[in-house]
Structure 1
Amino acid sequence: MPLLDHVVLQVDDLNAIGDWYNQVVGLAGGTRTFDTPTLIGYALPGEPAQLFFSLATDLGGRQTHLALRVEDETIVRRGHELAIALGSEILHEPRLWPEYAPDYYAVFIRDPAGNNLELKCQASTAQPTLPRG
């Protein structure tokens, strides 16, 4: 069973950010599956499609963090390039994060609504974790 069931991000303009997420979620293999006046839903690939996150208006709060697991480092870097092309703020460039795990490779992006989006994968070439102290 997956660790992440779903996440709902608050946004101000569903149409504008929905277009942005259509492209980014597409990199992770997800698809936009439903729309209402106050909610857009995205699902994981497979049969049956399973909702894994939504964008909604009028929920309160900001700075939600969403991590999408992608296939490999190439997809993480493509997400970084796409974010730059879309004019998004890059919070952290793609790199290994050995403080999380020796093979944790990710990029952190600010979406147009101010949320923190992470694209992560298991790196093919892990570096040893340095001892703390």
Structure 2
Amino acid sequence: MQLLKSVHHIAIICSDYEKSKNFYTEILGFDTDREVYREERDSYKLDLSLHGQYCIELFSFPNPPARPSRPEACGLRHIAFQVSNIEEAISHFQSKGIVTEPVRIDQFTDRKFTFFADPDDLPIELYEI
């Protein structure tokens, strides 16, 4: 019996809420579905969607501990987004001050991909489909 239907969302805890909110909405282009301030936790929760599909819960908490991204640490490795034209996507993000790694080719699919980081150094992959 197949119980899982699909990925529902990705939860991200950020260290600077306004900076990360700007990154995910203004730079990556996510839509804000709902923004809630939870006073008892001194925490924001921002629900973000992409093309009408709920994708990311962005949280803020006071003084969250850093999580190592590099060298590659155990745990969730990165999030990846599909793009139609990787060069066009890279150009768009570079115009907004985002530095991407050199484009690589997936050895199994022959597809192009690259990485960049969010404001907390979370690795984000662009994968050309």
1:97 maps onto 2:106 in alignment: yes
- RMSD (CA atoms): 2.5
Q: SS of 1:93's equivalent?
A: coil
Q: SS of 2:103's equivalent?
A: strand
Residue of structure 1 in register with 2:72 after alignment = none
Q: Is the 8 A contact 2:113 2:128 kept in 1?
A: yes
Unaligned runs of 5+ in 2: 38-43, 70-75
TM-score by length of 2: 0.67
TM-score by length of 1: 0.65
CA distance in 1, matches of 2:34, 2:103: 31
1:68 maps onto 2:76 in alignment: no
Q: SS of 2:15's equivalent?
A: coil
Q: Is the 8 A contact 1:104 1:120 kept in 2?
A: yes
Q: SS of 1:39's equivalent?
A: strand
Residue of structure 2 in register with 1:83 after alignment = 93
Residue of structure 2 in register with 1:34 after alignment = 34
Unaligned runs of 5+ in 1: 123-133
Q: Give CA deviations for 1:20-76 in whole Å, capped at 9, x if unaligned.
A: 2113432xxx4222212312221132xxx3311121123655346111122x1x2x2
Q: Is the 8 A contact 1:42 1:51 kept in 2?
A: yes
CA distance in 2, matches of 1:3, 1:104: 23
CA distance in 1, matches of 2:9, 2:79: 9
- Flag the 1:111–1:2 CA change in 2: closer, same or farther, 3 A: farther
| Identity %, equivalent residues | 17
Q: SS of 1:5's equivalent?
A: coil
Q: Is the 8 A contact 2:27 2:96 kept in 1?
A: no
1:111 maps onto 2:118 in alignment: yes
Q: Give CA deviations for 1:95-126 in whole Å, capped at 9, x if unaligned.
A: 3222xx3233212001111110111122xxxx
1:9 maps onto 2:12 in alignment: yes
